[in-house]
Amino acid sequence: MITKPVVQIAGGLDHYMKMADETAAELLAGNDPLVAALRQYDEYMRTDLWSHATVTPGLGYVLSMNSCMMFLAGTRMALSGHSVAVFPLLRTALESASYAVLIHREPELSDVWSKRHESDDHRKLCRKNFTFERGARYLKGPSPELYDLAQQAYESSIDYGAHPNVKGVAGHLSIDNEREDGQVGVSLTALYGTEHIQTVRGLAACLDFGLAIIALIALAEPGETDKITEDLQRLSDLKNDATAEYMNEPEPA
């Protein structure tokens, strides 16, 4: 006889928001180096980046700004401890930055992007031309290392939550087959505490994606300046210092 499964979602919306807000408040009030680094990334995106940005004003600028806003949304989710939900947002942020570069380097694609919803043919043409890889390839020349980082970040986003695949879902499952009622209990965790490795992963991912986004926007045009190079190196060093103690952490079971 097959027993119908009983599904229970603890707490409800108010409980979820309360727990997420408490985790974010604790992280923001503490001395976590990941959060300190994210504050500096945010500050750079709000100020210095736009004095160096080489993206042509227009749709490219709009997509660049959208990238930064989506990055903030991903950071907010990371601070809440809902790590699996971080990666769809960060992936969109990175794609938006790559599309900004693509329009800057191939201005004729501006109409392709803006007319996407006019017909099925327009939609197909947009999907063909606008891919992350097509925009990101323009980063390969000025900075092969940051191009590699952007590629790795994009692929990792798919693995860890931007697609509902095995790693992104099963990594948050726990199974209890020793219940007294003879049933098997299956739990799927959404929110983690401030020190859990899943929360750390979400915060660290924001730094990886943040650096890739900044690099794409700042290096959209060939011929980077010494100031941009210095800034990117400083931000990279900041990221590496903040994540150093976690580099040898084991993969969550």
Strands 173-176 and 185-188: antiparallel
Supply 225's token pair: 């300046």
Integer angstrom CA distances of residue 16 from 21, 77, 86, 106, 233: 9, 12, 16, 44, 38
DSSP string covering 74-133, please?
HHHHHHHT-GGGHHHHHHHHHHHHHHHHHHHH-TTHHHHHHTTTS-HHHHHHHHHH--HH
Which amino acid, one-letter code, is at 141?
A: G
Supply 109's token pair: 């694609």
Alpha-carbon gap, residue 62 to 83, rounded angstroms: 27
Q: Given this model, what pLDDT does residue 16 score?
A: 92
Count of C-beta atoms within a 10 Å radius of residue 72 = 17
- Percent of the chain scoring above 90 in pLDDT: 67
Q: Given this model, what pLDDT does residue 250 score?
A: 54
* pLDDT band, residue 224 (cuts 50/70/90): low
DSSP string covering 127-177, please?
HHH--HHHHHGGGTTT-HHHHHHHHHHHHHHIIIIIS--HHHHHTTEEEE-
Q: Given this model, what pLDDT does residue 3 score?
A: 60
Q: Given this model, what pLDDT does residue 175 score?
A: 80
52 or 45, which is more confident: 45
Supply 104's token pair: 């800057």
- The yes-or-no verdict on residue 123 having pLDDT over 90 is yes
Q: Given this model, what pLDDT does residue 253 score?
A: 47
Nearest to 99 by CA among 127, 118, 140: 127
The reply to whether the predicted model has a pTM over 0.85 is: yes
Average pLDDT, the chain: 89
| Tens-place pLDDT, residues 19-34 | 999 999 999 999 999 9
* pLDDT band, residue 1 (cuts 50/70/90): very low
| Tens-place pLDDT, residues 171-215 | 887 887 777 666 767 788 889 999 999 999 999 999 999 999 999
| Tens-place pLDDT, residues 47-69 | 988 877 667 678 888 999 999 99
- Percent of the chain scoring above 70 in pLDDT: 89
Q: Given this model, what pLDDT does residue 168 score?
A: 81
Supply 21's token pair: 């807000």
| Tens-place pLDDT, residues 237-250 | 999 999 998 876 55
Nearest to 198 by CA among 175, 167, 226: 167
